[in-house]
């Protein structure tokens, strides 16, 4: 019985000891659990704060991404505009290059034409020089021939030639009727052998074959080469330079009185040289023509 009590007491003691150790272990574990719980709570709070920070960072990143997207769209639009501008500039450059090519072609053509013109100019210059040389040679030849003619023929035997007489009415029509003559023009050519240097007065004297003066003269003058210094009436005077290559002299006069029918003589001369004469007729006027 005692033995059972001892056994029971021992068992109870053992249980009590075990319970004590269990309680001690439980309290020890409970403290660790509480500490671990506190630590877990702190980690959770830290994680929540980190999550909040992450969410704030994500929102900032999203805002930055939105801003970057807007900047990207603006850049894309600017790049598109730049591409358009570049395309237009390239088109303009191609047009300029085409124009430059055309201008270069024009320039080459102009240079070729200019070269041809320069060649023509050089050729014409040579031809002109050749013609000038020929002209000088011809003038020298003519001068020599004139000198030979002067030596062969007496100067007094040479007279003016190519006489031309024109009589016109008041309406400027030609006429051969004496009474219808309003203006009378006498022209002629002076051969080189008769020419002198400088300027001289040339006189025209008009009379008919009966030596009658047709109208009042301007003055009288001595006819060169006439016997005893014969004075003749002067109806027109022209101052002429005798240093021209082609010397043609013309007189135009208006008779103050009506001319009479008959044959007239126009004599031309200078102060010391008789140049020549020409004869021409005027007929009478009838009532029916």
Q: What is the pLDDT of residues 12-70, one digit of tens each?
A: 777 777 777 777 777 767 777 777 778 888 888 888 888 888 888 888 888 888 888 88
What CA–CA distances, in Å, run from 255 to 68, 184, 207, 261? Answer: 114, 8, 12, 14
Which pLDDT does position 159 carry in this prediction?
67
When the candidates are 2.60.40, 1.20.120, 1.10.8, 2.40.128, the CATH number that belongs to 160-282 is: 2.60.40
Q: Rounded CA gap, 183 and 169, in Å?
A: 7
User: Chain-centre distance of CA 45, in angstroms?
Assistant: 93
Taking only the tens place, the pLDDT of each residue in 63-90 is 888 888 888 888 888 889 888 988 998 8
Mean pLDDT of 206-229: 80
Q: Which tokens hold the place of 239? A: 């101052």
Residue 240's pLDDT band (boundaries 50, 70, 90)? confident
CA–CA distance, 176 with 166 (Å, rounded to integer):
9
- Regarding predicted confidence, which is higher, 156 or 257? 257
Query: Considering only 92-101, 167-176, 189-198, 235-244, which range has the smallest mean pLDDT?
Result: 189-198
The token pair that represents 4 in the structure block:
């059972």
3-state secondary structure of 270: coil
Q: What is the pLDDT at residue 156?
A: 47
Domain locations along the chain: 1-130, 160-282
pLDDT, tens digit, 9 for 90 and up, residues 92-114: 888 999 998 988 888 888 888 98
Q: Which of 115-124, 152-161, 280-289 has maximum average pLDDT?
A: 115-124
């Amino acid at each position: 019985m005692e033995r059972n009590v001892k056994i029971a007491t021992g068992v109870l003691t053992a249980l009590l000891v075990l319970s004590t150790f269990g309680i001690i272990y439980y309290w020890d574990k409970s403290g660790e659990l509480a500490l671990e719980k506190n630590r877990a709570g702190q980690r959770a709070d830290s994680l929540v704060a980190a999550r909040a920070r992450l969410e704030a960072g994500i929102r900032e990143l999203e805002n930055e991404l939105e801003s970057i997207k807007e900047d990207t769209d603006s850049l894309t639009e600017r790049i598109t505009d730049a591409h358009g501008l570049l395309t237009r500039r390239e088109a303009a450059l191609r047009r300029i290059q085409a124009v430059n090519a055309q201008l270069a072609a024009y320039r080459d053509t102009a240079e070729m034409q200019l070269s041809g013109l320069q060649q023509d100019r050089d050729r014409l210059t040579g031809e002109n020089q050749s013609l000038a040389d020929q002209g000088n040679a011809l003038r020298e030849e003519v001068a020599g021939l004139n000198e030979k003619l002067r030596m062969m023929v007496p100067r007094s035997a040479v007279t003016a030639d190519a006489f031309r007489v024109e009589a016109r009415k008041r309406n400027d029509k030609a006429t051969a009727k004496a009474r219808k003559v309003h203006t009378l023009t006498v022209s002629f050519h002076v051969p080189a052998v008769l020419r002198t240097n400088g300027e001289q007065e040339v006189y025209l004297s008009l009379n008919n074959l009966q030596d009658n003066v047709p109208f009042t003269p301007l003055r009288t003058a001595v006819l060169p080469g006439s016997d005893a210094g014969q004075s003749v009436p002067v109806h027109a005077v022209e101052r002429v330079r005798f240093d021209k290559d082609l010397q043609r002299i013309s007189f135009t006069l208006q008779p103050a009185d009506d001319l009479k029918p008959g044959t007239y003589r126009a004599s031309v001369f200078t102060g010391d040289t008789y140049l020549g004469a020409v004869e021409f007729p005027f007929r009478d006027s009838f009532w029916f023509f």
